[in-house]
């Protein structure tokens, strides 16, 4: 098989290629970005941030961008009454702005209307053509304009009343189309694609591997890779044949090559992608067509596809017709963009659709970011307990006594000792909700320790005042905050950085290996930062403002403040994750 012939190349690439190349889908500009688009981007960004944090010697490259060709773009621009190019510029810029405000840090933002991409598509087409994998033929079939794809009879449902056929997967109508197109010999690569899919951890979660294998159990027909120019003119022309334009999905998929410099030799320094993050609705294109195109071009397919599910809104499918599409910019006005980012990664699980609701978002963000995390920092740095505004070092004597005599101290130590290994295991699988679970469990243990140790009874002027013991309790609490801040950097980078700034943790001491430095690992010496140091007076101890209730007053909406709550130790409800 062709795929087996490149195994040696993969081995050499793994050994000598230090690049970790990650992609999001490029987002179709027929409409403004919604939370589903943002979810794809924050998954990829959090994955890349973890890779940089854990493997600083590795070059991590993230690519995102916009897909700007096809019939739907022509129609959307016409609907808005503006030139197509101007329409694409406007929507693409909105994606850039949303991603920037959400802390997404791509090394490249690519647009399929760029000259570098058009050059890559032309080169890739010629490579497929000269290798004999593209041929011209009359083609007829059911075409779905909304999905930009031809569908077989088995992929359709017929509305008996109207006689209209619809896509089973998307629900969009289709139309019968007859035209002369260029075809790709997909059928010749069925065995190779099946072999690629079956490789360990190639498709994750595993349920999507099964979906692909079910599709591959039936013979694959050859697929159209072009459309007549007189039908789809807003597209890249087929090289040497202006009567045809490149099929939008082939055009779009090549962006992953364009971004790293294809066809110039420089692209091989980053190829193949370590992980490609996609939504489940485009699994067929990335899990069957894309590896087949690459194998036909004698290029290695991606090492992993990470497929995520969709978001419903209050239990309903998100759609324009239901007027329930969630605009991330609008949502961020209520939750902050960092809060929205946390909610998506905290609540979303790849194998099942997530449910977006205001009640759930408010509960999670208030309980976890405002109370469990933010309130603990506020209490540990309160001037009534910590008048010197320091991150103190621990007294070896009092540290040993607390660990010996107070169960809550021992539980906190155990939680911190397990934090690095558990979070690393979850991050490696993109199980961000379990990272948040683990970090919050540690912070609950820290809150419980703080309450149980009763530091307010030890401050100066109290009957049992003991400054050394008080500072040890604060030091242990701040160690828990510091380590939690380090592990949460990929998920809530801005909030975690503010936490670490407040604790005066130097940038050079925010790497993953510093999780091994705390009172938990060195219980007979000072805490991980060594000597006491001043807290950063320029950074507020208020990390996350509690989200306010909205109550109707005289037809207007009024913000009703909620009281801050102290976080209490409690058993967290855990969700099982399918690998």
199: domain CATH number is 3.40.50.620
What's the mean pLDDT when you consider all of the chain? 91
Dihedral pair phi/psi, residue 318, rounded to 5°: -80, 125
Residue 386 and residue 296 in one domain: no
- Tell how far CA 3 is from the center of its chain: 29
CA dist 444 and 221 (Å) reads 55
Question: Could you tell me which residues come within 8 angstroms of residue 1 by beta carbon, excluding any fewer than 6 positions away?
Answer: 191, 192, 195
pLDDT higher than threshold 60 for residue 461: yes
Calculate what percentage of the chain has a pLDDT beyond 90: 80
User: Domain count of the chain?
Assistant: 2
- Of 494, 519, 534, the one marking the end of a domain is 534
Is it true that the peptide bond before 162 is cis, omega within 30 degrees of 0? no
Residue 301 and residue 380 in one domain: no
pLDDT higher than threshold 60 for residue 268: yes
Q: List the one residue out of 542, 544, 478, 466 whose CA is nearest residue 505.
A: 478
- What does the pLDDT read at residue 351? 94
Q: Which domain holds residue 204?
A: 16-133+185-308
pLDDT higher than threshold 90 for residue 551: no
Least confident of 111-115, 311-315, 419-423: 311-315
Alpha helix stretches (DSSP H) within 394-492: 396-405, 407-428, 432-453, 467-488
pLDDT higher than threshold 60 for residue 430: yes
Dihedral pair phi/psi, residue 235, rounded to 5°: -165, 175
Residue 303 and residue 389 in one domain: no
Report the predicted TM-score, pTM, of the whole model to 2 decimal places: 0.89
Q: How far is CA 455 from CA 119, 214, 471, 519, 520, in A?
A: 66, 61, 9, 17, 19
Instruction: Extract the runs of DSSP E, i.e. beta strands, from 462-574.
Output: 533-534, 549-553, 556-560
Mean pLDDT of the 499-515 span: 97
Calculate what percentage of the chain has a pLDDT beyond 70: 91
CA atoms within 13 A on the CB side of 429: 17
Residue 278 and residue 377 in one domain: no
Looking up residue 391, the CATH number of its domain turns out to be: 1.10.730.10
Q: List the one residue out of 170, 227, 202 whose CA is nearest residue 288.
A: 202
- What does the pLDDT read at residue 463? 86
Q: Which two tokens stand for residue 404?
A: 């010996």
CA dist 37 and 171 (Å) reads 20
- Of 308, 334, 359, the one marking the end of a domain is 308
Q: List the one residue out of 92, 93, 102 whose CA is nearest residue 45.
A: 102
DSSP 352: B
pLDDT higher than threshold 70 for residue 554: no
Residue with more model confidence, 556 or 84: 84
Do 38 and 326 touch, CB atoms closer than 8 A? Answer: no
pLDDT higher than threshold 80 for residue 15: no
The answer to whether residue 406 sits within a structural domain is yes
Residue 301 and residue 416 in one domain: no
- What does the pLDDT read at residue 571? 38
Mean pLDDT of the 252-263 span: 98
Question: Could you tell me which residues come within 8 angstroms of residue 23 by beta carbon, excluding any fewer than 6 positions away?
Answer: 44, 62, 63, 64, 256, 259, 273, 275, 276, 277
The answer to whether residue 24 sits within a structural domain is yes
The answer to whether residue 549 sits within a structural domain is no
Residue 242 and residue 383 in one domain: no
The answer to whether residue 82 sits within a structural domain is yes
The answer to whether residue 73 sits within a structural domain is yes
Residue 298 and residue 389 in one domain: no
Q: How confident is the model at residue 33 (pLDDT cuts 50, 70, 90)?
A: very high
Whole-number CA gyration radius for the chain: 27
Mean pLDDT of the 74-96 span: 96
Which residues sit opposite 151 in a β-bridge? 142
Residue 33 and residue 127 in one domain: yes
- What does the pLDDT read at residue 413? 98
- Of 292, 308, 324, the one marking the end of a domain is 308
The answer to whether residue 541 sits within a structural domain is no
pLDDT higher than threshold 90 for residue 163: no
CA dist 333 and 151 (Å) reads 41
Residue 209 and residue 117 in one domain: yes
Q: Which two tokens stand for residue 331?
A: 């949502």
Q: List the one residue out of 355, 346, 342 whose CA is nearest residue 310.
A: 355
pLDDT higher than threshold 70 for residue 443: yes
Q: Which two tokens stand for residue 244?
A: 């045809």
The answer to whether residue 342 sits within a structural domain is no
The answer to whether residue 568 sits within a structural domain is no
Residue with more model confidence, 162 or 470: 470
């Amino acid at each position: 098989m062709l795929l087996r012939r490149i195994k040696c190349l993969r081995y050499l690439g793994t050994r000598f290629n230090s690049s970790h190349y990650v992609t999001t889908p490029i987002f179709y500009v027929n409409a403004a970005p919604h939370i589903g688009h943002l979810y794809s981007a924050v998954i990829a960004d959090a994955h890349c941030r973890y890779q940089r944090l854990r493997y600083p010697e590795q070059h991590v490259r993230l690519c995102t961008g916009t897909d700007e060709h096809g019939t739907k773009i022509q129609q959307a621009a016409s609907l808005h009454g503006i030139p197509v190019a101007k329409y694409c510029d406007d929507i693409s810029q909105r994606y850039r702005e949303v991603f920037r405000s959400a802390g997404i840090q791509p090394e490249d933002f690519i647009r399929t209307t760029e000259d570098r991409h058009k050059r890559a598509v032309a080169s890739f087409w010629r490579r497929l053509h000269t290798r004999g994998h593209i041929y011209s033929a009359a083609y007829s079939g059911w075409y779905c304009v909304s999905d930009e794809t031809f569908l077989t009879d088995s992929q359709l449902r017929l509305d008996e009343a109207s006689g209209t056929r619809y896509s089973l997967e998307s629900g969009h109508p289709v139309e019968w189309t007859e035209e002369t197109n260029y075809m790709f010999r997909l059928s010749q690569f069925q065995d190779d694609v099946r072999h690629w899919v079956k490789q360990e951890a190639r498709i994750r979660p595993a349920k999507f591997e099964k979906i692909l294998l079910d599709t591959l159990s039936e013979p694959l027909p050859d697929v159209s890779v072009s459309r007549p120019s007189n039908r789809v003119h807003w597209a890249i022309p087929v090289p040497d044949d202006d009567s045809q334009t490149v099929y939008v999905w082939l055009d779009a998929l090549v962006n992953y090559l364009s971004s790293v410099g294809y066809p110039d030799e420089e692209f091989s320094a980053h190829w193949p992608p370590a992980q490609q993050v996609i939504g489940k609705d485009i699994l067929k294109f990335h899990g069957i067509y894309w590896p087949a195109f690459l194998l036909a071009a004698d290029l290695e397919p991606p090492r992993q596809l990470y497929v995520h599910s969709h978001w419903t809104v209050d239990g309903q499918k998100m759609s324009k017709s239901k007027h329930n599409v969630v605009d991330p910019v609008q949502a961020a006005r209520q939750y902050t963009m960092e809060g929205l980012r946390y909610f998506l990664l905290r609540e979303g699980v790849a194998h099942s659709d997530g449910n977006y609701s205001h009640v759930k978002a408010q509960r999670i963000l208030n309980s976890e970011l405002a109370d469990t995390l933010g309130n603990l920092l506020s209490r540990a740095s309160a001037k009534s307990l910590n008048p010197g505004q320091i991150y103190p070092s621990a007294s070896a004597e009092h540290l040993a006594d607390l660990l010996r005599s107070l169960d809550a101290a021992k539980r906190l130590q155990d939680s911190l000792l397990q934090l690095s290994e558990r979070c690393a295991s979850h991050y490696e699988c993109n199980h961000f909700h379990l990272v948040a679970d683990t970090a919050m469990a540690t912070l609950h243990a820290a809150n419980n320790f703080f309450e149980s140790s009763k530091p307010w009874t030890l401050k100066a002027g109290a009957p049992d005042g003991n400054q050394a013991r008080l500072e040890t309790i604060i030091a242990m609490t701040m160690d828990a905050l510091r380590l939690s801040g380090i592990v949460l950097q990929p998920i809530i980078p801005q909030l975690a950085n503010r936490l670490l700034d407040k604790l005066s943790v130097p940038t050079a001491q925010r790497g993953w290996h510093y999780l091994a430095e705390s009172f938990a690992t060195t219980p007979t010496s000072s805490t991980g930062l060594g000597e006491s140091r001043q807290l950063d007076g320029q950074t507020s101890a208020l990390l996350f403002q509690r989200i306010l209730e909205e109550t109707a007053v005289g037809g207007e909406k009024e913000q009703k403040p909620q009281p801050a709550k102290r976080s209490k130790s409690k058993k967290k409800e855990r969700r099982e994750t399918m690998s």
